Structure 1
Amino acid sequence: MNKVKKAIIPAAGLGTRFLPATKAMPKEMLPIVDKPTIQYIVEEAICSGIEDIIIVTGRSKRSIEDHFDKNHELEADLECKQKNELLEIVRGVTNLVEIHCVRQKEPLGLGHAIWCARKFVAGEPFAVLLGDMIIESEVPCLKQMIDVYEERPGSIIAVEEVPWESVSSYGVIQGDMINKKLNRITNLVEKPKINPPSNLAMIGRYILDPKIMDILEHQQPGVGGEIQLTDAMKQLAADQNMYSFRYEGKLYDVGSKLGFLKANIDFALKRDELGSGLWEHLYELTGGAAQDAGGMREARRIG
């Protein structure tokens, strides 16, 4: 069995939900506190044992490539000014992992973006991590999935339960339960408008068999006139085992404004140099309610 050592991060979307901020800046470069969103995704992949990453970019996405490239002028300036801590941070980003980039020349959908990386995959199983979903967990979400894959070879999709009224915003699965975390998938539907098969939504983490590239090559446009990854996975599931996996962790949909703000607040509260000041601000805004909630959370943590 081939191990999962490669990952694709699609980052070619236009980011229209964050206009005008994303008119010139990729949404994947919007910071969660002081780190670009996409770096959290790359770090999850690395901590899961991924050795090679390809980022699928689009027009006006050059800054993503530059972020992970070496910046000689910046490093020389920081070294000259003896700002060693910042220098270590900058060099650390460059040395994270071997990162490649390929461009999706037309915005034809997520399925097409994955297909653009077909030469990189080269017949091996691979992971896909969507760039606008950050998952905070003790064991990285992708690592949890790889552990399952090594026990049950086959494509694996991370899912979580969402409110029924929100199902039409997601791709959802239908399947036969194996245990409380695993289902064998029998059907997948992209953004169902009526009669959704379940409220188990796909949340942007996949391990896929390379045969999906052959399916994507001939995939017809689906919802929204785009080539949908869900449609190709549905065909793949008819030919081989595919599982859904309920991961452990907290999901932040940073592709939405509310999710982005929640992530910034939660991550900042955990920073020693920011947490107390932010709690004071929240206390002022909420008339003490935030402080009470923070005290209860701290008491639970200590207990």
Structure 2
Amino acid sequence: MRKLLTAAEAVSRFVRPGAVVGMGGQNINRCPMALVHEVIRQEIGELTVAGCNLSLPLDMLVAAGLVTRTEQGTGNLERYGTLFCWRRAVERGEVSVGDHSHLAMATRFAAGALGLPYLPTRSLLGTSLLADLVRDGVAVESADPFGGGPVVLLKAMTPDVALIHANRADVSGNIVIEGVTSHEVDMVRAARSTVVSAEEVLPAGAFADRPEQVTIPEAYVTAVVEQPFGAFPTSVYRAYDFAEPEIKDYQALGRTGDEEVRSWIAAGLGAGFDDYLERRDPSGALRDGLVEQMRRLV
């Protein structure tokens, strides 16, 4: 199957209404913004979004009215504040939440990646999260059969589709991620399909002489989308820094209210991600500055 697709083609084929979507990225690092924008353009709804730190992509999907449930370690932009649209939707009862620790979510993805129905952990013992997860049917408190005390059995998380952004890929679907990968490798292995956007897509065999660079091999990747600055306004290690003014502007809108964010989405996303980038940064000066900032950092 030809894996190199446009964002519109990949999202249309592999993100279905009602899907469980595994979300890549972490806080303000390497979020799959181009792919999430396309989900919003195509108005694919009734989604369950799963990940460790669900940040800007989740809030935009919730603002667009496309999410019914989240399974996550946290939902925030750390020093830039909570996800305001998501929080309000949860408070109104429009979005249900499966609240985990980061390690618990990573463990669920690891179980899925190994093809196991569950994995044991002790990370939730003694926490207030455990009772809710037991109620939701994704955790069971048990005894270690080897006499080591209590353990928690965590149900595997197997997303219908995983969305991630990477530094590089080849047309066969071999993926290179530089820097922190967090839960993404296990999440991709656990998912039924995976769509990867990448800063650059190279010809087949590009990594044949350097296989150690490949973070995720082609067997786990369903579609590849070439999209420079596809994580903007979040960062990509060794490529560009995060755009703090953009994130602060979004958070200011989020504090104001849902309607303001929906209006911004409707007016600002444009016909595609390149169009969005041109609207936000017509001269390219902001993007050039982010590239230079990352060069100074690394």
| Alignment TM-score, normalising by the size of structure 2 | 0.32
Task: Judging by fraction of residues, say which structure has more helix.
Answer: 1
| Alignment TM-score, normalising by the size of structure 1 | 0.31
